[in-house]
Chains A and B, each alone.
Chain A
Amino acid sequence: MSSLHGVERSALATVRHGLSLTPEFRKGMVGTLALAVLATVGKVIVPIAVQQTIDRGLKGSIPDLPYIRTAVLLCAAAVVLTALCAYLMNVRLYRATEASLATLRTRGFRHVHDLSVLTQNSERRGALVSRVTGDVDQISVFMQWGGLMIIIAMGQLLVATVLMFVYSWQLALTVWVCFLPLLVVLPRFQRWLSSAYTQVRERAGDLLAAVGESVVGAAVIRAHGSEARTAERLDVAIEANKAAQARTQRIVATVFPVTEIVAALATTAVVLIGVRLGVAGDITAGRLIAFLFLITLFVSPMQTATEMLNEAQNAIAGWRRILGVLDTPPDVADPGEDGVELPRGPISVSFEEVGFAYPGGAPVLTDVTLDIPPRSRIAVVGETGSGKTTFAKLLTRLMDPVSGRVTVDGHDLRGVRFSSLRERIVMVPQDGFLFDGTLEENIRFGRPSATREEILLALTELGLADWLEGLPEGLDTPVGQRGESLSAGERQLVALVRAYLADPDLLLLDEATSAVDPATEVRLARALDGVTRGRTAVSIAHRLSTAEAADEVLVFDAGRVVQRGPHAELVGEPGVYAGLHASWVSAARS
């Protein structure tokens, strides 16, 4: 189950809500619809021309050629005019829909970034991507093609009906009686199609996820020779997707011929009843024949409507999915304008009876109360799963506590504007994700306004000038997809420089140099020691010296802070820290 579930809405409400999010679409829509109406009127020109030719032009034994000529030329002029209307309508429609969809896409994209890490991680990446790509494409196909066809079809139906009633109300009723059952049956088919299309989209999402795994996990698959199993999983996803598609086609292939049959029945009925009416003198031959043409106008809306239901269903499914993203409230929300702007300067942090648990999970942090004074250097230690990373995520407000509160300089984190928060508090996660680009571009991600000189300076200050010189193209070295052209240790170095360049007042390192070699790490630690002087620094430590150098060590165990104080003090006390210390010492010296 996806955690991105919007409000339950009917198809119509979904479309209406979707459109309301994009004002570009509504702008000028009245004019576009007016043009559409004019374009639709063009459809009845042929039946009128046929009726006029037969009834007026062929009245006597000799055709009234001048009359026919005038009528036909007038009709031709009308055809050209309605074509022009159609052109104008199309251009306006494309402009409006594309503009609104670009907005929808961008909003969806932005919203995904606004969602908490918790929500982001609960979604499969491929499925998330398709919400701002494929799903929006489906909507655009519908708005410019299917949706328009439906509007034109309705107009055509209306215009044809009006003309039918003008010609003969009896025959008009006959036609409607023939087509009415279709109007009852079609919604049922629509429901089947609707569920079938939801299946298609879900299977397509599964497919993307399966392909994504096989691509991202390429190294693991090869290393363990599990190609056959991966291929099998892919085949299952591919076949399921195909089967879902074929099911929709079976439904459509049933709907389509039914309208053909109904049209034939209507034509037969019109001929049967029309001839009788004609014999009675209630209808002219021209009008009766015009009816046969009008029925074709009646048929194609029904047919196109069923055909366009394909796309309508696709689009509504697409809309639901993108609205599902937009409707999901960012559970860790930016207070925005109402939020507090923190002034620059050393930061103090307080945890007040903070507790955290993942949804449906056991508590990860319990009753954590502590103060981090400004300019202090804190080391966080504890065994795997003791709650260190959760602590880091709460401190940087990647997540909000379930109970209690976290304050920065006395302000509840939930009330601090993100722009201010992210500027002042920066975390370097363990896995330094890099974007496909050069080293320089990746470092500049920390502060977009930084010059090349500032970037070089940052590298030098962190003692990484030597490492940079060793790279083939220096700052212009491409890092590759996800930074994979660099080693894991090098990626961590880049991530660290990137965060340092952001110039935060509180720097939080979550085992940020775990993959770097000891000599480089020691150099880095020293350099960081210098550059973070005057700032608050929190390090989740994975080795002894970080803890030793800290002003204070926080010892986590099973989600609680069980010990705190300077290393020298803690190491002498019996407790968790002494145990950790002993194992570190043996790891470093054995």
Chain B
Amino acid sequence: MASKVTSAVMRQGFRVLGVAIRAERGVFAVAVLSSAVYGVMTVASAWALGWATQNLVLPSLSEGRIATGALTATVLLILGVALLKALGVAGRRYFAGVMQYRMQARSRREVTRQYLKLPLAWHHKHPTGQLLSNASADAEAAWGPLAPLPMAVGVVVMLITAAFALVATDPVLALVGFLIFPAIAVLNFVYQRKLSPLATKAQQLRAEVSEIAHESFDGALVVKTLGREDEEAARFRARAEELRDANIAVGRVRGLFDPLLEALPTLGVLAVLLAGAGRLEGGAITPGVLVQVAYLFTLLAFPIRALGWVLAELPRAVVGYERVRSVLDTTGSMEYGSANLTGESPASLRVRGLGYAYGDSAVLHEVDLDVPPGRTVALVGPTGSGKSTLAQTFVRLVDPARGAVMIDGVDLREVVRGGVSETVALVPQQTFLFDDTVRGNVTLGLPVGDEDVWAALRLAQADGFVSALPEGLDTKVGERGTSLSGGQRQRLALARALVRRPRLLVLDDATSSVDPQVEAKILQGLRDASQASTVVVVAYRMATIALADEVVYLDHGRVADRGPHGELLLRCRGYRNLVTAYEREEAEREALDAEEEEEVSA
């Protein structure tokens, strides 16, 4: 069973290598050619020494006189072979590296492109840590064997050359070689078979350790405020120790096989000496041949392990490649149509029979909604009633499971890529700032001038604090930038939407952290703005709601009622309860206070 699994892994591994070779044919060819030169020259250097022993060292020492011709030939031979070998080594190393890094970069580009393409629902299902490691560690692991691959191919050339050289030199010594080198190959195979499952497990654990660290650091504030550092450290330690044990298990196998693989060629040299001495006695070979073969075995001992390095990396590579592939092979990326949303005037929004579910739990049922151009509609409903999900369908962050969302009568799914975001802008509840300047965070690459950026900031009531920042528009914000308050971040996010002059603006509780008086100014500004647009606003504040032409009251994923605020207040109990909660509370408090006063006066 284990061998089946392993040979399957090996086959997959070779397929992965094949992908790289096909993708980088030219570089691979140069690397392999260089490596072949290196392989042949390694064998040649043994032959040169054997020749020198036989024709220079032994005759000179026995005759007490230096063989001058042989001396010159030896010097030229050794240096010439070494020069070619050096060139081979340089080429092999450099181009192997180039190939590996190109493939890594290629995978990273593909994976990150795919991240940008896949729908948001897919993102929500995958841990950030996992997505990070797909693009970094996995892409690296997938192409790990490419570094030693050309060398391994060179070693194969080296072995074949050596086999011919051995047979041509002396069949008996060749026989020793033919016993030793296959033995090394078999040992290598057993080695990898034992190592493969252990290495795979260690790789898996490495990813898990990374995921824990990522999540824990993301939630650092919660960990700190609740004083749960020790528990978090324990959670991390448990997995780190599993990784430690897995790595030790890998090490145990490596520790056994590496010395064995080193001892085998050495034993081979000793066998050559033993057998060679017998051959010398019969005069079948010269001492020079003996030196040549022994030297050859010494030289082969190290490079032959490159075969093992490639095999050793394969299981990791297969795991990495499969993790990368599973991202790339994910279908369900959004399909786009060919319709264009043209026009300059405010857009109309129409929702028909819309349904949506997260897994098994349905959050929206049969939602119908109409927002005529230029109107402002407030979406109101209790926490968890599906408002944000509905808002997300307006910009096609998610596609409805049933029904349709139409802008100017065009189903969003029919619109060309990029067409929706040109027309509609959503300001989400949670603000995300990029590690970039204020300008970069507002424009997100949109080619607009600074006047437009300032205009958007003014409309979002953000021009005041931005101009007070040390470097104005060029101030770095985001992960490593100036820390901004929640309200300031929300206003930047709003400016980001406004600078795009959307024809439909969707505000998903986007001003919750902004002070009421500032919010009032923002909303006032939006009403008066020259860039008129249709607005859908998710809100709780009475002032915000009151600005809307119509209110849609959402409850348990259904449109419970709709109409002007005043009418809803009168006829819809759920709505009344929700939006007047503060007032009623205050009234009760006042009544209570009055009672107390009465009691006191009584």
Q: Are the CB atoms of B217 and A112 closer together than 8 Å?
A: yes
Report whether A433 and B221 are in contact in the complex, using a CB–CB cutoff of 8 Å. yes
- Please, which residues of chain B bring their CB within 8 A of the CB of A79? 263, 266-267, 270
Taking A257-B90, A430-B513 as known contacts, 11 extra A-B pairs with beta carbons closer than 8 A to each other, sorted by chain A number, are A50-B269, A102-B241, A117-B220, A214-B112, A222-B397, A267-B49, A279-B64, A288-B57, A431-B430, A499-B225, A511-B513
A residues contacting the other copy or chain, number (CB 8 A): 196
Please measure, in the bound complex, the distance between the C-alpha atom of A431 and the C-alpha atom of B131, giving whole angstroms.
23
Instruction: List residues of chain B with CB within 8 A of the CB of A419.
Output: 227
**Is B75 at the interface (CB under 8 A from chain A)?**
yes
Considering only residues 32-80 of chain A, those with a C-beta below 8 Å from chain B are 39, 42, 45-46, 49-50, 53-54, 57-58, 62-63, 65, 68-69, 72, 75-76, 79-80
A9 within 8 A of B: no
Q: A246-B97, A588-B582 are in contact. Are A472 and B225 (CB under 8 A)?
A: no
- Say if the beta carbon of A242 comes within 8 Å of chain B: yes
B535 to chain A, nearest CB (A): 15
A433 to B225, CA, bound (A): 12
Binds A, one of B4-12, B100-108, B159-167: B100-108
Assess the A226–B445 pair: CB atoms within 8 A: yes
| Minimum distance in angstroms from B81 CB to a CB of chain A | 7
Tell whether A121 is near chain B: CB-to-CB under 8 Å: yes
Docked complex Cα distance between A187 and B432 (Å): 46
User: Given the known A-B contacts A46-B294, A94-B247, are A122 and B225 also in contact in the complex, defined by CB atoms under 8 Å?
Assistant: no
Which residues on A sit within 8 Å (CB–CB) of B251?
Answer: 90-91, 93-95, 98, 144
Q: Using an 8 Å CB-CB cutoff, how does the interface string of A475-507 with B read, 1 for contact, 0 for none?
A: 000001110111111100101001100100000
Who on chain A is nearest to B109 by CB?
A238
A207 to B112, CA, bound (A): 11
* Cα distance A233–B257 in the bound complex, in angstroms: 45
A274 touches B (CB below 8 Å) = yes
Contact residues, A146-201 vs B (CB, 8 A): none
The answer to whether A98 and B429 touch (CB under 8 A), given A53-B277, A296-B298, A384-B514, is no
Beta-carbon contact of B582 and A518 below 8 Å: yes
Contact with A along B118-138 (1 / 0, CB 8 A): 001001111111011001110
Q: Do A99 and B244 touch (CB < 8 A)? A: yes
Instruction: Give the most central of A98, A427, A428, A498: most B CB within 10 Å.
Output: A98
Check A520 for interface membership: any CB of B closer than 8 A: yes
Q: Identify which of A102, A246, A518 gathers the most chain B CB atoms within 10 Å of its CB.
A: A518
Most chain B CB atoms below 10 A, which of A221, A228, A525? A221
- Determine whether the beta carbon of B543 is less than 8 Å from that of A133: no
A276 to chain B: closest CB distance in Å? Answer: 7
Interface flag for A83 (CB, 8 Å): yes
Contact B432 A433 (CB under 8 A): no
Does B370 touch A at the CB level, under 8 Å?
no
Chain A nearest CB from B145 CB (Å) reads: 15
> Can you list 24 A-B contacts with CB-CB less than 8 angstroms, sorted by A residue number?
A50-B269, A53-B273, A113-B216, A125-B479, A126-B132, A128-B217, A204-B136, A222-B396, A223-B397, A224-B421, A245-B101, A252-B97, A257-B89, A265-B79, A288-B57, A384-B487, A419-B227, A422-B225, A487-B384, A488-B429, A515-B512, A517-B383, A519-B581, A549-B589
Using known A-B contacts A481-B126, A590-B542, determine if residue A276 contacts B82 with beta carbons closer than 8 Å. no
Contacts of B388 in A (CB 8 A): 487-488
CB contact list, B576-602 vs A, under 8 A: 577-586, 589
Say yes or no: B240 contacts A519, CB within 8 Å: no
CA distance A245 to B147 in the complex (A): 12
Binds A, one of B186-194, B206-214, B317-325, B348-356: B206-214
Question: Known: A218-B120, A436-B215, A517-B578. Is A587-B541 also a contact (CB below 8 A)?
Answer: yes
B448 within 8 A of A: no
A279: contacting residue among B61, B260, B384, CB under 8 A: B61
When the two chains form their complex, are residues A429 and B222 in contact, meaning their CB atoms are under 8 A apart?
yes
A219 CB–B CB distance under 8 Å: yes
- Is B397 a contact partner of A429 (Cβ separation < 8 A)? no
In the complex where A94-B248, A218-B123 touch, is A418 in contact with B485 (Cβ < 8 A)? no
Q: Decide if A519 touches B578 in the complex (CB within 8 Å).
A: yes
Residue of A nearest to B76 (CB): A268
Instruction: Determine the distance from Cα of A361 to Cα of B480 in the docked complex, in whole angstroms.
Output: 15
CA distance A488 to B432 in the complex (A): 14
Task: With CB as the reference atom, state the residue of chain B lying closest to A88.
Answer: B255
Does the CB pair A384–B383 fall under 8 Å?
A: no
- Are B428 and A511 interface neighbours, CB within 8 A? no
Q: Is the CB of A75 within 8 A of B66?
A: no
| Residues of chain B contacted by A238 (CB below 8 angstroms) | 105, 108-109, 112
Is A110 part of the binding interface, using a Cβ–Cβ cutoff of 8 Å? yes
Q: Mark A248-286, 1 if CB is under 8 A from B, else 0.
A: 111011101110110111011001101110110100110
Measured CA separation A482–B124 after assembly (Å): 9
Partner of B221, one of A112, A124, A429: A429
Describe B's contact surface by its main secondary structure.
helix
Beyond A271-B56, A293-B295, whether A215 also contacts B132 by CB under 8 A is yes
- CB <8 Å contact, B270 and A75: yes
Nearest-Cβ distance from residue A433 to partner chain B, whole angstroms:
4
Whether A256 and B217, one on each chain, are in contact in the complex, defined by CB atoms closer than 8 angstroms, is: no
Contact of B183 with A by CB under 8 A: no
Query: Would A275 and B66 count as touching, CB distance under 8 A?
Result: yes
A271 & B543 in contact (Cβ 8 Å cutoff): no
Q: Which residues of A are found within 8 Å of B463, using beta-carbon distances?
A: none
Q: Which of B228-236, B450-458, B525-533 contacts A (4 or more CB under 8 A)?
A: B228-236
Do A499 and B105 have beta carbons less than 8 Å apart?
Answer: no
In the complex, A31 has a CB within 8 A of chain B: no
Contact B215 A224 (CB under 8 A): no
B219 close to A223 (CB less than 8 A):
no
- Asked if B87 is at the interface of the complex by the 8 Å CB criterion, the answer is yes
A589 near B90 with CB under 8 A, answer: no
Interface majority SS (helix, strand, loop, mixed), chain A: helix
The answer to whether A514 and B421 touch across the interface, beta carbons within 8 angstroms, is no
Q: Smallest distance from the beta carbon of A380 to chain B beta carbons, Å?
A: 13
Residue contact A231 to B244, C-beta cutoff 8 Å: no
Q: What string of 1s and 0s marks CB contacts (under 8 Å) between B332-376 and chain A? A: 000000000000000000000000001011000000000000000
Report whether B128 and A521 are in contact in the complex, using a CB–CB cutoff of 8 Å: no
* Choice from A68, A98, A105, A485 contacting B124 with Cβ under 8 Å: A485
The answer, yes or no, to whether B420 is at the interface (CB within 8 Å) is: yes
B497 to chain A: which residues have CB within 8 Å?
224
A456 at the interface (CB under 8 A from B): no
Nearest opposing residue in chain B for A586, CB measure = B543
Indicate if the CB atoms of B226 and A279 lie closer than 8 Å.
Answer: no
Supposing A68-B274, A106-B237, A224-B496 touch, asked if A588 and B583 sit within 8 A by C-beta, the answer is: yes
- Which chain B residues lie closer than 8 Å to A91 at the CB level? 251-252, 255
B331 close to A (CB within 8 Å): no
A109 touches B233 (CB 8 A): yes
Task: For residue A583, give the distance in angstroms from its CB to the closest CB of chain B.
Answer: 4
Chain A residues whose CB sits within 8 angstroms of the CB of B18 once the complex forms: none
Residues of the B chain whose Cβ atoms lie less than 8 Å from the Cβ of A445 = 222, 226, 228
Question: Is the C-beta of A331 less than 8 angstroms from some C-beta in chain B?
Answer: no
Mask, A235-249, CB within 8 Å of B = 1, is 100110110011011
Check A484/B124 contact, CB under 8 A, given A87-B256, A113-B220, A423-B227.
yes
* Any A CB within 8 A of the CB of B69: no
B82 touches A264 (CB 8 A): yes
Q: Which of A86, A106, A216, A511 contacts B236 (CB 8 A)?
A: A106
- Digitize A293-327: 1 where CB-to-B-CB distance is under 8 Å, 0 elsewhere: 10010001000000000000000000000000000
Query: Which of B127, B236, B287 makes the CB contact (< 8 A) with A109?
Result: B236
Cross-chain contact A264 with B425 (CB below 8 angstroms) = no
A268 with B79, Cβ < 8 A, contacts A234-B109, A288-B57, A481-B127 known:
yes
Q: How far is the CA of A252 from the CA of B96 in the complex (A)?
A: 12
Task: Pick out which of these stretches binds chain B: A341-349, A365-373, A402-410, A540-548.
Answer: A540-548
CA distance A373 to B279 in the complex (A): 102
Contact A63 B277 (CB under 8 A): yes
* CA–CA, A518 and B75, complex, Å: 93
* CB of A2, distance to nearest CB on chain B (Å): 9
Would you call B224 an interface residue if the criterion is a C-beta within 8 Å of the partner chain's C-beta atoms?
Answer: yes
